């Protein structure tokens, strides 16, 4: 069993120092093996131009992300944390994956939502799974609107993910119907770390709806948050329990697939 | 707007004459443009060998299926009805699609559930969409356990389905979480015609849980049945309302897909 945490909070809009301090503190003080933070945790969400994002973005070896990955190693905890990434002239809505026993990796959001398309480049990492050797856990990451496409979680699960981390800044409500289905249709754990609060830019408000949750591989809600609270959710999960996709004496949800028909 | 009906009933186990009479009568007396019947409506469900299915199977131009397709034409209604199909030495868990303005088609179930694997051959038609010219409706069919695979509804929707008919003999309950998600993740109407009752074979019982439903393209339940009742559900739907997959000024759930990442 491993202890999985998702942190729900309200990042301070455009204040990377303050958010990084919050994240580093949460890593040090959360008794968990894996900790998931929301999308764009370091900087807030609602940007409407590349210039705006450029002001808060940094590379994965920049000072704030380094502070976060150092905190992960110092606490011996695997961290998944959303941030605005700069890579040369490119800008990505990314999540860093860092901690004991693994090389630091970055997932770049595949499906961009709304005005993110004005700010970020489409992710070019694709979906991938990171094996966490000391936890015997295969971790995949998708970010927020990626959930809307069943192909995202499916691709991760077919690559062997036991656990999908979903750093999010969710603004609609239908995700709460879909996330448990994403979990059970792939028989994987799914951890949604959502933020809450409202941000305003160019006269437009965007409100995030919290309700972060950890779903078991059968779609059950193991733990969930309210719509507006700073809270850390923790569940004990058994990654190895996801790997046998057989559910009766004959059927197996992966072996029964017929990709030639899709 | 078109009138869409799903018929929930309890087929008489192995009595093809009685079930066909029920179906033909329902076609004549249901005021709808499209009528969906459950999986294996003509013969019942729980067979455990090819010999058993062979005793109730017939080709699409056999007498009972001909009676059903004739009834569809006579009533000027499109019918989707599950039956056990014989094609030479092959046996399929199929649905006939017949009615005004279209050539009769057969969909053969792609994903076989449990002991169906002992009785039927895997479907070889793939998923396809039938254009109903007089209704301006693009109809796709998946059968029961096909729902378990997001690829089924996705494949139909990407082929242009406005409406997915899902003749079913559902025995678990998680489908009720997934079906509305199948509808809204593809922005299609989805009609589940389930049966109810229990069948016993070789000392094993299989119980079907009714609760047939028609879902709108946003996942809303337009109408639904109880777990154990013979009932015809009817909804008025607008197939053309499904075709614009854009949901804000920027995002479109189909154009936003990135198949190179799946």
pLDDT for the residue B167 = 98
B14-53 per-position pLDDT tens digit: 999 999 999 999 999 999 999 999 999 999 999 999 999 9
Q: Which two tokens stand for residue B141?
A: 């069919």
DSSP state letters, B110-125: SS--TTHHHH-PPP-S
**Distance (Å, whole) CA A144 – CA A93:** 10
Which chain B residues are within 8 Å of A261, Cβ to Cβ? 110, 126-127, 151, 155
What mean pLDDT is reported for chain A? Answer: 98
Query: DSSP class of residue B58?
Result: B
Is-catalytic flag, B166? Answer: no
A16 lies in which domain range?
2-261
Q: Please give, rounded to a whole number of angstroms, the shortest distance from the CA of B148 to a CA of chain A.
A: 7
Q: Which residues of A touch B181 (CB under 8 A)?
A: 177-178, 181
Mean pLDDT of B206-235: 98
The minimum CA-CA distance between A253 and chain B, rounded to whole Å, is 8
Kindly state whether A177 is in contact with chain B, defined as any CB-CB distance less than 8 angstroms. yes
Determine the longest span between alpha carbons in chain A, in angstroms: 58
Instruction: Determine whether the interchain pair B181/A181 forms a contact, defined as Cβ–Cβ distance below 8 Å.
Output: yes
> Residue B62 has which token pair?
């056999």
Q: Each residue of B186-203: pLDDT tens digit?
A: 999 999 999 999 999 999
| Residue numbers in A near B115 (CB within 8 A) | 250
Q: By C-alpha distance, which of B192, B195, B193 is closest to B228?
A: B195
CA angle A123, A126, A131 (to 5 degrees): 125
Q: Which stretch of DSSP H or E encloses residue A205?
A: strand A204-209
CA–CA dist B159, A30 (Å, integer): 48
For residues A81 and A30, give the distance between their C-alpha atoms in angstroms, rounded to a whole number: 14
What's the CATH code of the domain at A75? Answer: 3.60.110.10
CB contact, 8 Å: A110 with chain B?
yes
Q: Which residues in chain A land under pLDDT 50?
A: none
**pTM over cut 0.90:** yes
Check residue B261 and give its pLDDT: 97
Output the CA–CA distances (angstroms, integers) from residue A145 to A123, A155, A194, B156, B188, in the order listed. Answer: 13, 15, 12, 22, 19
Which whole number is the average pLDDT over B70-84? 98
* CA A130/CA A140 separation, integer angstroms: 6
How is residue A176 written in tokens? 């709460």
The answer to whether A110 contacts B258, with C-beta atoms less than 8 Å apart, is: yes
Q: How far apart are CA B94 and CA B68, in angstroms?
A: 14
B255 touches chain A (CB under 8 A): no
Annotated catalytic residue B43: no
Distance of alpha carbon A187 from the chain centroid? 18
Q: What is the mean pLDDT of residues B205-229?
A: 98
What residues does A87 pair with on adjacent strands?
Answer: A90
Q: Give CA–CA dist A80/A50, Å, rounded.
A: 24
Task: Assess A220–B contact: CB distance below 8 Å, yes or no.
Answer: no
| DSSP bridge partners of A85 | A58, A92
B250 reaches A (C-beta below 8 A): yes
Q: Can B144 be counted among the known catalytic residues? A: yes
Nearest to A178 among B185, B248, B250 (CB): B185
The beta strand positions in chain B, using DSSP E, are 2-8, 34-36, 78-87, 90-98, 105-108, 129-132, 137-141, 163-167, 189-193, 196-201, 204-209, 213-215, 221-224, 231-237
Q: What pLDDT does residue A147 have?
A: 98
Give the residue from B118, B91, B104 showing the smallest Cα distance to A251: B118
Please say whether the beta carbons of A84 and A57 come within 8 A.
yes
pLDDT score for B79: 98
Per-residue pLDDT, averaged over B61-71, amounts to 98
The count of structural domains within chain A is 1
Catalytic entry in A109, A116, A119, A199 = A109
- Residues of chain B with Cβ-Cβ distance to A122 below 8 Å are 258
Q: What's the maximum distance between 2 C-alpha atoms anywhere in chain B?
A: 58
> Who among A126, A219, A262 is closest to B155 (CB)?
A262
Residue of B nearest to A155 (CA): B262
The single residue of A39, A85, A116, A199 carrying the catalytic annotation is A39
- Residue A148 touches chain B, beta carbons under 8 Å: yes
CA angle B182, B103, B61 (to 5 degrees): 100
CA dist B111 and B107 (Å) reads: 12
Give the DSSP H or E segment for A234.
strand A231-237
Question: Chain A closest CA to B178's CA: distance in Å?
Answer: 6
CA-based nearest residue to B164, from B231, B206, B125, B217: B217
* Average of per-residue pLDDT across B2-25: 98
A-interface mutation test, from B251, B253, B260, most A Cβ less than 10 A away: B251
Residue A200, classified by CB atoms within 10 Å of its CB into exposed (0-12), middle (13-18) or buried (19+), is exposed
Q: Indicate the helix (H) or strand (E) that contains A177.
A: helix A175-186
pLDDT tens digits for A90-131? 999 999 999 999 999 999 999 999 999 999 999 999 999 999
Percentage of chain B exceeding pLDDT 70: 100
Contact B151 A110 (CB under 8 A): no
């Amino acid at each position: 069993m491993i202890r999985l945490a998702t942190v729900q909070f309200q990042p301070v809009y455009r204040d990377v120092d303050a958010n990084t301090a919050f994240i580093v503190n949460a890593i040090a003080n959360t008794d968990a093996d894996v900790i998931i933070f929301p999308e764009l945790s370091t900087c807030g969400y609602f940007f409407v131009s590349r210039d705006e994002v450029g002001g808060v973005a940094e590379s994965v070896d920049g000072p704030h992300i380094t502070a976060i990955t150092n905190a992960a190693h110092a606490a011996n905890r695997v961290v998944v944390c959303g941030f605005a990434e700069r890579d040369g002239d490119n800008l990505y809505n990314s999540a860093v994956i860092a901690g004991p026993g693994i090389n630091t990796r970055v997932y770049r959001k595949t499906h961009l939502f709304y005005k993110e398309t004005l700010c970020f480049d489409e992710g070019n990492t694709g979906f991938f799974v990171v094996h966490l050797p000391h936890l015997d856990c295969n971790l995949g990451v998708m970010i927020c609107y990626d959930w809307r496409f069943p192909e995202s979680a499916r691709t991760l699960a077919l690559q062997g993910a036991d656990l999908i981390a979903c750093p999010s800044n969710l603004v609609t409500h239908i995700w709460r119907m879909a996330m448990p289905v994403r979990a059970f249709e792939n028989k994987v754990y799914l951890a949604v770390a959502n933020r809450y609060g409202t941000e305003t830019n160019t006269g437009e408000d965007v409100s995030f709806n919290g309700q972060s949750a950890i779903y078991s591989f059968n779609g059950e809600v193991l733990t969930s948050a309210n719509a507006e609270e700073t809270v850390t959710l923790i569940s004990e999960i058994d990654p190895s329990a996801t790997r046998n996709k057989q559910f009766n004496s004959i059927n197996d949800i992966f072996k029964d697939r017929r990709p030639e028909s899709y």
